[in-house]
Amino acid sequence: MSKITRDQVPVEETWDLTPIFESDEAWEKSYLALEKELEELEHEVVLSSASDVLEAIRTFDQLLVNVGRTSSYALYKFSEDGTDTSNQTMLGRAQFLREKTNRVKTNYVNALISVPQDKINKYKTH
């Protein structure tokens, strides 16, 4: 008995990834937007007010959600068929995006921990 290939598996027996992204093209659009956003966020983080801190936390939180979606889709596509070079490329690109996200995270964490505790306490009252 020979091994069947991914394209021989009936669609109803495969994962439905459309709740994550409607298509590979939608994934690509999201990837490019995230890549651009990460480039913008790689610069120094300025937290001089309570609203700056809140905005930074919200921005980074949403970034993590979007990168997670993008990475999950790429991983599931690779799991579908690891022999497909486009799936291999997608997974590699998603891993690169996560690495860039980690660099941005370092900047955000360093900026947040550099805010003195008395300022944080003051921000909490506003």
What digits encode the pLDDT tens for the residues 21-71? 999 999 999 999 999 999 999 888 889 899 999 999 999 999 999 999 999
Indicate the domain borders of the chain: 27-37+49-124
CA distance 94 to 79: 14
Q: Which value, to the nearest 10 degrees, does the dihedral of the CA atoms of residues 29, 34, 36, 37 take?
A: 140
Regarding pTM above 0.75, the answer is yes
**Tens digit of pLDDT for each residue in 62-112?**
999 999 999 999 999 999 889 999 999 999 999 999 999 999 999 999 999
AA letter at 16: D
Confirm if 24 and 30 have CB atoms less than 8 A apart: no
Beta carbons of 82 and 45 less than 8 angstroms apart: no
CA separation for the pair 87, 85 (Å, rounded): 5
